[in-house]
Amino acid sequence: MAASYLTPRPRDFIATELDDISYEAMINAVTHGRPDTAMLGFVNTISREDIALVVDFVRREFMQNKDRNTAYHTVENGWPNHQQYALAFPFALEEIALDTPSEQLSSQQRIGRRIFMQSCVTCHDRARVNDEGVIWDPRPVSYPRNQYSHRQTETTPPDSISSATPYARHEQAPVLVNLTAQEKEGEALFQENCAFCHAPDGTGKNWIGSFLEPHPRDLTDPVNMQTMTAERLRQVIRDGLPDTTMSAWKGVLDAGQIDAVIAYINRAFHPLAKAAPAD
Ligand code: HEC
Ligand code: HEC
């Protein structure tokens, strides 16, 4: 899946012959990476010896022997009789394009495509299609109201984050002392409702926030926050921002709760600007 989004795509080792790329060039690529590609150097991650072993392996197994090396649908992997789906294999293996007109398929192939669409497409995605269709435009996604949790408790691990990700440090709420009762209420409300997108530390640099387009506003950024008054905040939280995932909260939070969230933002992330004096 990742490979299909990368330009250039990672090399297809099965389609590569030993003469196409030298051993030294491969060692160099794994050690130092390839400039202007997603291939990073592993010099600080894997020892020189292990880099040599991995390159030996790729050259022997894939480039020379053309071995599949790993078959996924094996008995050990929990697929007792995968052969029963053989009619769908040509679609999974991208031998037949998924959008081939029905008239051009034999009746067996049509059955195979139906099996593929019912049982295989979830993992194999569209496999190969002739017409890629329109490229999706980025657009706001709706707030997932499911059981996603960005918090770790004693019994449940956090979803889709581990301490190894660059997002992890944005999953920490600031530790504050001497909060007023209102700020404390706001803290709980913010961490329950807003942190999902804006991150517990208010930066919007958590996992979900990084994927939303536009990104949730960084509530700690002095440039953003310089002109942010309580009035502006109140209006945005109440009514939302059109064309973004920032939804209107007026049906969820009452006026007192919104004020509590505002008090918390002011205390935890960035002091709010004073409103222009009314004349
Ligand atoms: C749970 C996810 C999943 C489902 C469901 C799934 N596949 Fe796969 N399949 C894989 C993965 C992962 C591979 C390995 C891909 C690779 O090595 O490039 C694979 C590989 C294959 C291969 C290549 C041989 C092999 O075993 O590695 C065939 C053929 C195949 N799938 C057919 C099917 C068919 C037909 C179905 C539906 C009946 C199906 N798959 C459903 C995940 C899945
Ligand atoms: C589903 C994701 C999501 C949730 C949940 C969410 N926001 Fe937002 N928020 C956004 C996005 C996206 C923006 C738009 C950023 C932009 O337009 O640059 C935004 C913008 C904002 C802004 C900036 C408004 C401005 O005019 O610059 C504030 C303040 C804000 N959100 C506060 C909150 C508060 C408080 C909550 C909880 C009550 C909350 N958000 C919940 C996604 C979210």
- Alpha carbon dihedral 68, 72, 75, 79, in 10-degree steps, equals -140
- pLDDT score of 162: 45
124 CB within 6 A, ligand 1: yes
Determine the residue of 124, 125, 126, 128 to mutate for testing ligand 1's pocket, defined as the one with the most ligand atoms within 8 A of the Cβ atom. 124
Q: Which of 51, 120, 59, 111 is nearest to 87 (CA)?
A: 111
> How far separated are the first and last CA of the chain, in Å rounded?
59
Above 90 in pLDDT, residue 94?
yes
Above 50 in pLDDT, residue 218?
yes
Based on the number of CB atoms within 10 Å of its own CB, is 38 exposed (0-12), middle (13-18) or buried (19 or more)? middle
Residue-wise pLDDT tens digits, 117-175: 988 988 888 889 998 877 666 555 444 434 455 666 666 555 554 445 667 788 889 99
Per the model's pLDDT, the better-predicted residue between 5 and 116 turns out to be 116
88 CB within 6 A, ligand 1: yes
Q: Which of 215, 211, 199 is nearest to 268 (CA)?
A: 199
Supply the DSSP symbol for 248.
-
Residue-wise pLDDT tens digits, 8-57: 999 999 999 999 999 999 999 999 999 999 899 999 999 999 999 999 99
b/e 53-65 (16+ beta carbons within 10 angstroms → b): eebeebbebbbee
Pick the ligand that lies closest to the CA of residue 234: 2
Determine the residue of 139, 241, 266 to mutate for testing ligand 2's pocket, defined as the one with the most ligand atoms within 8 A of the Cβ atom. 241
- pLDDT score of 163: 46
Domains of the chain: 2-64 (1.10.760.10), 82-124 (no CATH), 168-268 (1.10.760.10)
Residue-wise pLDDT tens digits, 234-279: 999 999 998 788 889 998 999 999 999 999 999 999 999 987 665 4
Q: Which residues contact 274 (CB under 8 A, 6 or more apart)?
A: 229
Rounded Cα distance between 115 and 122, Å, is 12
